[in-house]
Amino acid sequence: MCKSLCTCSVWIITMTATETEASQWAASAQSSLHALIVQRRLSLSRILSTVIRTCYYL
């Protein structure tokens, strides 16, 4: 899961040209990951920032 999410995040970052599109993707990701986030009691922004930061520096 983590690896596929990382790959997806890298692709999104590569293909996303504007902050608006990034915001729309983040909103979509929030809906998709809502159940997982609730279960783990973690902040979406923290998850996304960690994944994006990690993938960016790989």
* pLDDT band, residue 53 (cuts 50/70/90): confident
Using CA atoms, how far residue 38 sits from 6, 19, 28, 45, 48, in Å, is 20, 26, 16, 13, 15
DSSP-assigned states of every residue in 1-58: -HHHHHHHHHHHHHH--SHHHHHHHHHHHHHHHHHHHHHHT--HHHHHHHHHHHHHT-
Boundaries of every domain in the chain:
2-56
Is the pLDDT confidence value at 11 over 70? no
Q: What is the pTM of this model?
A: 0.28
- Among 13-17, 42-46, 50-54, the range with the most confident prediction by mean pLDDT is 50-54
